[in-house]
Amino acid sequence: MPPLSIAVTVNAVLYRRDVEPRLLLSDFLRQELGLTGTHVGCEHGVCGACTVLLDGEAVRACLMLAVQADGHAVETVEGLGSMDDLHPLQAAFRQAHALQCGFCTPGILMTLVPFLQEHPNPDEAEIREALSGNLCRCTGYQNIVDAVKLACGTAPVPADR
């Protein structure tokens, strides 16, 4: 099939591109737009590393085609905050030492952002349930849970380690 023209808003910027119909949204973001903060792990919907927001809802970018995002708004981790102006959740991850290699972190952040909008004061079981679709091989999750509590104001700020 010939390329298809799409117009996708990513992090509040409108991009028009001609893409192969089979191009994954994850590859579109990474290769066409250079937004490599969206990570690709399993490429079949299991690990959650590729999670982005589509019209505010968390989706697996590896399970969507770029053409399916035509006319929609995508948010990636690059749109959350910057090095000088971290999103509160990113700041909490840093404070609570919630990442090691960081490969899972963008997907976890993009999963948690809409979760926390719907559940501003989650208990630990709700946090762990929300994280259940995101695999992290480094942290054992405890510090990630602590970071979420920190972002919600339900955990003390950890001492520097």
* Site of interaction with ligand FES (CB under 6 A): 40-43, 45-50, 60, 62, 99-105, 136-139
Nearer to ligand FES, 1 or 41 (CB): 41
Q: Which of 144, 133, 138 is nearest to 63 (CA)?
A: 133
Q: Which C-beta is closer to ligand FES: that of 87 or that of 97?
A: 97
Smallest distance from ligand FES to CB 5, Å:
25
CB of 26 to ligand FES, least distance (A): 6
- Choice between 10 and 47, CB closer to ligand FES: 47
Q: Of the two residues 7 and 46, which places its CB atom closer to ligand FES in the complex?
A: 46
Half-sphere exposure of residue 150: CA atoms within 13 angstroms, side-chain side: 22
Q: From edge to edge, which strands make up the β-sheet containing 13-19?
A: 13-19, 4-10, 73-75, 51-54, 57-60
Q: How far is the CB of 120 from ligand FES (least distance, A)?
A: 24
CB 151 within 8 A of CB 96: no
| Cβ at position 133, least distance to ligand FES in Å | 8
Give the closest residue to 30 by CA, choosing from 76, 83, 80: 76
